[in-house]
Chains A and B, each alone.
Chain A
Amino acid sequence: MQRYIIMRILQAILVLVVVSVIAFALGHAGGNPLDAILPDDADATVRADLEEFWGINKPLHEQYFTYVWNAVRGDFGHSFKYPRFTVSELIADRFMATIQLAGAGILVAVVIGLPVGVLTATYRDTIFDWTGKVVALLGQSLPVFWLGIVLMWIFAVQLDWFPTSGKGGIRNLVLPAIAIGWFQVAAMLRLVRSSMLDVLDSEYVKLARIKGLPERKIIWKHCLRNAAIAPLTYFAITLGSLMVGSVSIETVFQWPGLGFLLFNAARSSDYALLQGIMLTFTTIYIVANLLVDIAYAYLDPRIRYT
């Protein structure tokens, strides 16, 4: 067990190192960033000062280690686009908005996916089941950014129920949350359906039926409680991918989170900021996956030996 966890942590660190090398290399692949922001006839001393300020005049490996050391301490340097802010300040500023959106997406998935999943499993081959299948299929196939725009057009432009974009009260959150949660609804639904079907087949459900318990109680209490374990653990993984998936939805709704910041940083070639966000996202993603794997290993001993 301990060996598995250590291996798994080492592996996560390895991935982080790879990503940091990619981030670092990408920053240098585009040539000297000062060429992009300084005018051609810029004063040589200004240039030298800026090189000193961003540390671009040192050898590469030294720059890399400085970069990693600073990154570990949460210092990603200064943004090129907003030189008065550090990258960490910009990221910290937007972080909560992304968490909020991802959380709302999970909420949507649980509130819709769980009950519909139960219904589709209980009433197989009925209209519920078919609706559920259509929802699940659409969830896999709908491009979320397009779904966001369609929702915006229907509910914000035509019906004027919700604002089109930006952050504000709870009403601003509804459309982006549905758009980002849609895929998760489908995933949740499928997971709940299949584990409900397993549970409905089990002996203790038969016993409960023989005992004469009302069907409603059997399904929503006895079955769901057992069937919900797998789908719920799944959401730990989802939080990581939801945050990453937030990039397109935040861009559609101009939600001031990390994803939108990434999009804007890419447009303005703000590479310090890009690297910072990339490392932040990757770290969250990898740590979430790591925790899930460890949790699974505790729950399911078979995993440790494969």
Chain B
Amino acid sequence: MAVALPELSSPRPPSRMGHYAREVFRYPVIPVAVLVIVLLIPALGADWIAPYDPLKGDMKNRFAEPSAQHWFGTDDIGRDVLSRAMHGARVSLLVASVAILISGIIGTSFGIVSAFYGGWADNLMMRLVDISLSLPIIVVAIVIAAMAGPSMKILIAVLVLSQWSRYARLVRGEALTIRAQDYISRARVAGASNFRIMLRYIFPNIVNTIVVLATLQVGFVIVLEATLSFLGAGISRPTPAWGVMVADGRSFVTDAWWLSFFPGLAILLTVLSMNLLGDWLRDKLDPKQRNL
């Protein structure tokens, strides 16, 4: 349980600006608000609140500058960029949550089992983790997508492939310390099965760590997804995804800056807020993982 410690006196009194900034950042109000506005509301409500059809173009209204009708302008075939960005939020949220959920489950089970059994199994499993961590994932993903054809399933599989090992390594480290605790041997004496020990005695003690890592990973996974989509190895057209929208806007950067700018800004705001939220959560739930 966290105990509030009195502030240690610092050699230099904090400046006024620092003081105000700290007040605002005590609770992650701004990040959460940004996440709700940029990611959550559009992702859940795009069908109702998006002003236009994200897939239907209007050839008479191509490259319209941002205006009252089209807040973010229109693209090369007259589609409303705002509506597309809203639907893009859904893709980002969906892909990131599914990928993180799956890699979290795989990685956590892997890490606990590896730490629990130890010995050669642990060795073998950690070599697998090493292999997974030493793959240059962007390159691998591009090659896989080029061979198999880009699709959302392949995208998620690639993201899981690159992420599960981070959970596995972290969880194993935590689980190793917990396994050495007295209450584990007592549980064993009391007749608890291996499975029960892992699920009821080890897992609850590392939930915080996993939640913190997962939050910090959301931003990373969203950027990775966008990068892969940007490179043509992720979401395929015409589905509106932020990375794809930035990629499509690149060719028109001289004439229509808004095509790339707004979807990229959405990525930036989402990831920035997610990272701030993750940092805050880490300090609250799991202060010992400062170097995550």
Residues in B whose Cβ lies below 8 Å from that of A166: none
Supposing A146-B260, A149-B253 touch, asked if A11 and B130 sit within 8 A by C-beta, the answer is yes
Which residues of B are at the interface with A, using a C-beta cutoff of 8 A?
10, 12, 14-15, 17-18, 21, 127, 130-131, 134-136, 138-140, 142-148, 219, 223, 226-227, 230-233, 243, 246-247, 249-250, 253-254, 257, 260-261, 264, 267-268, 271-272, 275-276
The interface bits of chain A over 50-86 (1 if a CB of B lies within 8 angstroms of the residue's CB, else 0) are: 0000000000000000000000000000000000000
Known contacts A140-B275, A266-B143; 8 further A-B pairs (Cβ under 8 A): A26-B147, A125-B18, A146-B226, A247-B138, A248-B230, A265-B146, A277-B139, A278-B140
Question: Is the pair B276, A125 in contact by a Cβ cutoff of 8 Å?
Answer: no
Of A108-116, A210-218, A268-276, A295-303, which binds chain B?
A268-276
Cα distance A247–B138 in the bound complex, in angstroms? 8
Nearest A residue (CB) for B131: A15
Residues in A whose Cβ lies below 8 Å from that of B147: 26-27, 29-30, 271, 274
Question: Is the pair A285, B136 in contact by a Cβ cutoff of 8 Å?
Answer: yes
Residues in B whose Cβ lies below 8 Å from that of A26: 143-144, 147-148
Cα distance A4–B14 in the bound complex, in angstroms? 47
Nearest A residue (CB) for B230: A145
Residues in A whose Cβ lies below 8 Å from that of B257: 153, 157
The interface bits of chain A over 148-189 (1 if a CB of B lies within 8 angstroms of the residue's CB, else 0) are: 011011000100000010000000000000000000000000
Cα distance A26–B148 in the bound complex, in angstroms? 8
Cα distance A174–B134 in the bound complex, in angstroms? 30
Cα distance A30–B154 in the bound complex, in angstroms? 14
Cα distance A232–B129 in the bound complex, in angstroms? 26
Supposing A18-B131, A26-B147, A153-B257 touch, asked if A263 and B232 sit within 8 A by C-beta, the answer is yes
Instruction: From B134, B146, B219, B249, give the contact of A269 (CB < 8 A).
Output: B146
Question: Is the pair B246, A23 in contact by a Cβ cutoff of 8 Å?
Answer: no
The interface bits of chain A over 248-290 (1 if a CB of B lies within 8 angstroms of the residue's CB, else 0) are: 1001100000000011011101010011011001100110010
Cα distance A150–B146 in the bound complex, in angstroms? 27
Nearest B residue (CB) for A31: B147
Nearest B residue (CB) for A266: B146
For residue A37, CB closer than 8 A to chain B, the reply is no
Cα distance A150–B260 in the bound complex, in angstroms? 8
Instruction: From A19, A125, A146, A251, give the contact of B135 (CB < 8 A).
Output: A19
Question: Is the pair B146, A274 in contact by a Cβ cutoff of 8 Å?
Answer: yes
- Can you name 9 A-B pairs with beta carbons within 8 Å? A19-B135, A124-B12, A127-B17, A129-B18, A130-B21, A146-B246, A149-B261, A245-B138, A281-B139
Dominant SS among interface residues on chain A: helix
Cα distance A161–B275 in the bound complex, in angstroms? 34
Chain A min CB distance to B187 (Å): 27
Residues in B whose Cβ lies below 8 Å from that of A124: 10, 12
Nearest B residue (CB) for A148: B250
Residues in A whose Cβ lies below 8 Å from that of B15: 125-127
Chain A min CB distance to B72 (Å): 15
For residue A1, CB closer than 8 A to chain B, the reply is no
Question: Is the pair B143, A248 in contact by a Cβ cutoff of 8 Å?
Answer: no
Residues in A whose Cβ lies below 8 Å from that of B243: 143, 145
Chain A min CB distance to B127 (Å): 7
Nearest B residue (CB) for A127: B17
Question: Is the pair B268, A146 in contact by a Cβ cutoff of 8 Å?
Answer: yes
Cα distance A138–B254 in the bound complex, in angstroms? 25
Cα distance A47–B17 in the bound complex, in angstroms? 73
Residues in A whose Cβ lies below 8 Å from that of B247: 145
Question: Is the pair A126, B18 in contact by a Cβ cutoff of 8 Å?
Answer: yes
Chain B min CB distance to A23 (Å): 7
Q: Which parts of A128-147 form the interface with B (CB within 8 Å)?
A: 129-130, 137-138, 140-146
Residues in B whose Cβ lies below 8 Å from that of A150: 260-261, 264
Residues in B whose Cβ lies below 8 Å from that of A229: none
Question: Is the pair B138, A244 in contact by a Cβ cutoff of 8 Å?
Answer: yes
